Amino acid sequence: MHFPCLDHLEKRSQSYESGPEPDYSAPTGYEVFHSTNPLSLDYGGVLPEFDIAYESWGKLNSDRSNAILIHTGLSASSHAKSHEKNSAPGWWEKFIGPGLSIDTNKFFVICTNVVGGCYGSTGPSSIDPADGQRYATRFPIISIQDIARAQYRLLTEQLGIQKLYASVGSSMGGQQSLAFACEFPENVGRIVSISGCARSHPYSIAMRHAQRQILMSDPNWKRGFYYDSIPPHSGMKLAREVATITYRSGPEWEMRFGRDRADPSRPPALCPDFLIETYLDHQGEKWCLEYDPNSFLYVSKAMDLFDLGSLSRRNVRDNFTSSGRKSAIQANECALPKTPYREQPRTKVTSLTISDLVDGMLPLTDHKVLVIGVESDLLFPAWQQREIAEVIGLVQQNNDKGSIEYVELDQETSMYGHDTFLLDLKNVGGPIKRFLER
């Protein structure tokens, strides 16, 4: 039996034996904010200096009160919309622009690549100023709140913006949007969180863990020190295929692919054969050399660690910040035990209470908030968005300054699953526009 899918992977590896390695840099046309002030991180590390790549659209008004910060999902660059310096369509091209959902005739719109990423912002592929070598897996563990603090530096120090009109994000960006407002409640007026959550739950943590393990099992990963050599593209491709399963919904795939095979005239094969298999293979193939694998590991881990509950934040503060800050390399000296952890059966279930989230999200008392959930979403199920709305409703119940609006798209309205925020201009973009402009 022939295995053309494996032959292709082997040929791709061979093509990188003599270099060059993939270019993980962002598309052209972005600006860079360089901070020389150290950034202290939640889990004990310090970045002595850092860069943030960002792009902007529209015009900042005279009192700098019309700025909207767009937060990205896990692997997105700052290129959310085309512009003069880069005419390629952005990942939210149809949502941002004159008269669109986020109207650049009215708002000054900023989008950043996150710290930990690879599209112009400081991340594992960046040079450590201490020794001139790539950070690789010496890079410190980061949190969603760390990402928000870096963005705050950009806004206040580079752009002179003291208060955002709105903080808007989808998926991991929905986490960032809430985290930014909780960290800097006086510096943002409105919040939009789409297909996000107030804390990561076991299912999504498990899915991202599986993706990381697949990537790290690629022998070319070399514990993160693969730069200037063969990249771990096979592991990255498979990790992306697993991730793609969580981005769309079963009903959509039933409609698009059904049980159809790519070529029914041929006998079945162990390489991609069904149309759904060829789709997953294509998605993995397209992405595996476009995004730095180490950035995928670090940013996805930040998503896992996300929890706006007061107990979680208190534990982070007590366990890490009180012991003093360490450099990136020192912070990563903490490792797992030499022998694997054993499963520890729980004698009692410690529930993640709503009251804990209420305490943690008290800074959102005065804000206007829009939360959008999608019934067909597998990765961030709609009950997680309903949880956000319920918590904010409790936070604001005795305050008439804030407001909470919840929109849920049922399966008949949208069957695109988690990717609905990228595809459904009418049912996602419409509520955003109404919320921002009233």
| Catalytic residue set | 171, 377, 418
CA distance 367 to 383: 22
Cβ burial, residue 198 (10 Å; 0-12/13-18/19+): buried
- The residue with tokens 């919904």 is 249
List the structure tokens of 251: 């009903």
List the structure tokens of 261: 């095979």
Strand partners, 368: 190, 403
The candidate with the shortest Cα–Cα distance to 73, out of 172, 146, 147, is 172
CA distance 388 to 160: 31
CA distance 175 to 187: 17
CA distance 27 to 432: 27
The kind and range of the H/E element at 246 are helix 233-247
In this structure, the strands spanning 108-112 and 50-57 are antiparallel
Distance between alpha carbon 293 and the CA centroid of its chain, in Å?
14
CA distance 166 to 178: 11
List the structure tokens of 165: 């009109």
Contact residues for 308 (Cβ-Cβ < 8 A; gap 6+):
178, 179, 182, 198, 199, 357, 360, 361
CA distance 343 to 352: 20
The candidate with the shortest Cα–Cα distance to 122, out of 142, 104, 103, 102, is 142
Other beta carbons within 10 angstroms of residue 286's beta carbon come to 11
CA distance 46 to 331: 8
How far is CA 413 from each of CA 299, 362, 426, rounded to the nearest angstrom?
31, 33, 10
The kind and range of the H/E element at 109 are strand 108-112
For residues 409 and 374, the answer to whether their CB atoms sit within 8 Å is yes
